[in-house]
Structure 1
């Protein structure tokens, strides 16, 4: 039966949010405002039903008229727009010709030229102050370790096996990248009118991250770990000054910690940067520092400010630095003075993703202090917004058609006191559309990953799909979550999972106490760190009728030695290596509790996950099967850990599988009550 014939049989439009609606979603990202504040170039990311992926295009907004014009991305993807200092040109990266290359568009003439023919994608674009050059970073491949060779008597047309694969890096595979090709990220510069790029940095180190020019164009500043032990001590790095003419390098900082993201003041006297002292904890706030251009006179501007600044940039007068930060599940932009004073200039940032309600977003600032940012709500994915003098205006409406025909789920905030020690825990309840006050509905506790991350009142397709099926969805921030201060996040240092379990149970109890959640119809799911806690929870309690653990860590020993973070998980998360303290690893592993599990549990993982490798999920599935616990294993083909929901069809199918699993175990639930709540 064709889609059109199905549509003709309906008595009216389908008001509920469905998996197919994922293909109709779009969101704004990376808004770049011109120096004069007249235009914003931004990346419009929209799901494409034919390629089953999100495509990126660059659009231009006139901030006075709100008129939008497409600039790039009609053929291939386009992203990373960056204005020239005079605002007359726009640099960006495009795959128009099949591979990612650096392009420049002359805004008045409307002409665009490709500057490069690179073997790898350029990143971290930075215009020189005179507008004549563009610096960027790029992976430079090398041969890697060679050991012996296959016989050289291969007959013509013989079908021999592929050559051996030899790896000698500590992290030899990375999530989303696969098995790492030998090579290093290096810094280049190319003329803004085209020509041969010139490589500026060399050696067996990765040089990249945000690049910042000195006002006279003679020096580039960047953050990098160029120590011989960079593989085993990755949480380190210094700010480097690179002489563009000679390639001479000088380290401006020197401490055990990751100094990074330098930004040079407009007059060139000061350098702002981010960093912290590495004390071997799994989570640390960055602080915002300024120093003289020679590395002297270092000052910490945020020593008394208990938040984590990011995406820093100077104001035009050189008197303050703008920074993005999270507070209680929401994202803002602050103006931080050189005296340490802090004033918010924008709030409501959004854009942490589409599938779950993570904090996030991005911003830029004009010379006159206009703040362009991506902002949204729980019912609206990220749009381009403009903050001016305390007033905020939304400039785009990327999902107006969908919102006009779909009954999206309402979201309300709740709080609870933890039964462990009384600390306050925030959560957001996504309710079924048409929810009737006073009625109880089945509840899905949906736990965020990280675990050093945060949920908030942001749009989430998973939550909308669950709510459309009649469930309330609880997105909570237990201890360990970010945006509540450094001490709150470090309540789980070397103790994860642990008391965060009690926080989650307390806020579930609060949802029941409010008369919303049915205590006899509780379900639990979560991904990554949320998968860890899902597996931990069902090893501690049988309160939940069914569970779905997504891309979990099950055994910290195998996680530490098979993931793409082998230098971090042992010393920073557990406090030792597996052979040094195997008991500590076992005590924090959900596998240690599998003997208690009676909850029917779905196990879900991407088939190319290298962050919480597939073997973690497979261990758990096998253990559950051996114990006779109802279970099934779902693999998302081709999906990495970070790209778990990247393909719309798979994101929808994954949510559908979880809903089907939960529906299977909703025995004893009154369908009439769900129907009444969903009408």
Structure 2
């Protein structure tokens, strides 16, 4: 009994320690946006309005707040004002004069219902408030990053946004009628009978319930809300902005026929840049067969830029930066697809553009330069692109990742973070063209992190698969983050491949990495071949080779880390990954069963063939298995055999490592059946396994869910340390 009591006491102490460390790292807020305001201080300086998100463990929610900083003319000595809670604000925007601020506010009515209001603030007071549900012009306003827009017109009188198309009312075939037959209470439109169960396709994972977006305009002068007609029904519009004269809108339309394929994380969807006038004249500006996003006008209104890649293929890949002359209607490519690497103006390597969006304001004041940020191998870098010379100049910073958030009057505000440091704001003044490398930066914020986090190390491993005779690309990289020691074989190592597979780890702050390393683990984050930020050839090298090349890359990275860092313990290797990372860790435990002690897999792909008919992105299964996808045709038997062969389930009889699954019931990307089926097979093989099933979707990012799955992950590794 005393032994059991001591064991339980040790376990409780261990849990308390993990919880306390989680609370420490969850305390750091995440920077979501920042904007430079024209507001001056005594005729000098600027104001920076920043938005942040922070986990509130007691409420089980992420809260949002705004923080304002007043900075003097030298861009130094910032004065910090009191933060303001903005949790219920979904979207906000300032008019160009900064006289008006529009807010889309979502107010909970009870545990299941919410209402949206469009507020207009003027001179420190609420000027107008529109109850969007009561007006019944459209459905909910879109606030997501793929479709969502919220922008004042150049005249400062109208707000442009995207909303769900208003649905006709429905009723069952038989419904008792009220005795008062003067009206049916549904307005002029008669309800459609028998269509309340009609299936309506949506845009998939994290866009569930978004079926048919429409371009909407709120006129604050007339207090009218209208739907801007003219977009053909086979298109879904989003990312809309005003034309310079305010007489039309520019945006992106995605093809929604014959099927809507999941959009989030996928930059490969067939789409166009469109122009729509106020009188409904619709035209396309980009070419067929392309996937486009993020249109942005220059400050002088002459040039329109956007990101563009070939439609289809891998879910994310390198982009071109296209410039469209608004007067001459001519297009040219400012930055082309980079196959391997090219040189910047300073001589550093540049691997292409992989950013999913451009900053809302990204132009210099003379409309000749563009500022943006993009993943580059093991970090995120920022660049200045000259549209006349097409010169690319890096805004260098070596200590982590840097992202441009806003540009106004050549004042640039950036976010900087590293694995050891949460995001901070910095300001700089853009120098004349050709002198960008002399740009000086000044801190606006400066988080004081726990000394334990500051004491960790971060090393980049350059790796090469010389023995891969089939490969056109052999190099890739990984990041070791964690403690180091003078003692040999002291530190347990968690091998962590990213999801996607066409994404990448960067030296930027991540809560889960901070938690694991502060608890004494080293983590090896592997950007295997196929990751973005290393040239388009790297992206193209993986499709047709998943389950083989990527698995070997991750395992080779682990063996090289053990060689380079003798303080890592080869007897205490663990696997941790989600989505395609979950695919890889379940593969690794099957292909290298003697090397890994335990596995944690979050929403893993375990059977690519079985996933084809249940995922919102069936094209992913085809492309990654090495086949073209045609929505009008079923896949061949050969393709399904290849999908099955490259799946982790193909190696399940080799698995011996205890395996923990974290699964979202509402995951439309990798449905829960993938993990549940694999879980039952492991149990039938007497492999120790456990499955946690959450009311959440693919990222498992709800605060209580995140806390539970991360703490359970750490405890699972600790339980299987010996």
TM-score if structure 1 supplies the norm length? 0.84
CA deviation string 1:346-380 (max 9, x = no partner): 65798xxxxxxxx785511012x221122212122
Q: C-alpha distance in 1, partners of 2:310/2:82?
A: 44
1:482: how far off? 1.0
SS in 2 for 1:186: strand
Where does residue 561 of structure 1 map in the other structure?
613
Q: Matched residues in 2 for 1:257 and 1:93: separation?
A: 32
Q: Does 1:383 align with 2:432?
A: no
CA contact (8 A) 1:532 1:552 kept: yes
Change in 2 beyond 3 A, CA 1:345/1:318: same
Number of aligned pairs? 627
CA contact (8 A) 1:645 1:651 kept: yes
Partner residue of 1:630? 688
Q: Which runs of 5+ in 2 are unaligned?
A: 1-12, 40-44, 109-113, 134-139, 143-147, 180-193, 263-267, 339-350, 431-438
Conservation of the 8 A alpha-carbon contact between 1:260 and 1:274:
yes
Q: Identify the residue that residue 344 of structure 2 maps to in structure 1.
A: none
SS, match of residue 537 in structure 2: helix
Equivalence for 1:677: none
Q: 1:232 to 1:280 in 2, by over 3 A?
A: same
Matches within 5 A, 1:44-63: 44-63=52-71
Range moving further from structure 2, 203-212 or 58-67: 203-212
Residues 1:341 and 2:385 are matched in the alignment? no
SS at match of 2:310: coil
Distance 1:628 1:477 in 2: 33
For residues 168 and 402 of structure 2, the distance between their equivalents in structure 1, rounded to whole angstroms, comes to: 38
Partners of 2:486 and 2:18 in 1: CA distance: 17
Provide the rounded CA distance (Å) in 2 between the counterparts of 1:273 and 1:408.
Answer: 42
2:280 match: 247
> Secondary structure at the residue paired with 2:613?
helix
SS of equivalent residue, structure 1 residue 452 = coil
Q: CA RMSD in A?
A: 3.3
Give the whole-Å Cα distance in 2 for the aligned partners of 1:116 and 1:68: 32
Give deviations 1:5-45, integer Å, cap 9, x for gaps. Answer: xxxxx9xx989961232542212111122357712222121
2:708 aligned partner: 653
Q: 1:207 to 1:25 in 2, by over 3 A?
A: same
Q: 1:360/1:346 Cα in 2 relative to 1: closer, same or farther (>3 Å)?
A: closer
User: Is 1:547 matched with 2:599?
Assistant: yes
Structure 1: 5+ residue runs without aligned partners?
A: 1-9, 157-162, 351-358, 668-679
Contact 2:314 2:502 in 1 (8 A): no
* Equivalence for 2:369: 320
Are 1:290 and 2:323 counterparts?
A: yes
- For 1:492-551, what per-residue CA distance to the aligned partner results, in whole angstroms no more than 9, with x for missing partners? 123223211121122211221120321111111101111010011111112101111211
Whole-Å separation in 1 of the counterparts to 2:53 and 2:692? 28
1:154–1:220 CA distance, 2 compared to 1 (3 A): closer
Separation in 2, partners of 1:194, 1:531: 53
Checking the alignment, whether the CA contact within 8 Å between 2:269 and 2:312 is kept in structure 1 is no
Residues 155 and 627 of structure 1, relative CA distance in 2, 3 Å threshold:
farther
- Give the equivalent residue in structure 1 for 2:292: 259
Among 78, 92, 104, the residue aligned to 1:93: 104
Name the counterpart of 1:225. Answer: 254
> Do structure 1's residue 331 and structure 2's residue 380 form an aligned pair?
yes
Deviation track 1:284-330 (CA, whole Å, cap 9, x = no partner) reads 31111112337842211112654125415332212122222111221
In structure 1, C-alpha distance between the alignment counterparts of 2:602 and 2:509, rounded to whole Å: 20
Matches within 5 A, 1:113-262: 113-119=127-133, 120-122=140-142, 123-143=148-168, 149=172, 151-152=174-175, 166-169=197-200, 171-172=201-202, 174-178=204-208, 180=209, 183-192=211-220, 195-201=223-229, 204-205=233-234, 207-226=236-255, 228-229=257-258, 231=260, 235-244=269-278, 246-262=279-295
* Structure 1 residues 294 and 250, CA gap change in structure 2 (3 angstroms): farther
- Counterpart pick for 2:567 among 511, 516, 523: 516
Shift of 1:436: 4.2
Cα distance change, pair 640–87 in 1 and its aligned pair in 2 (3 A): same
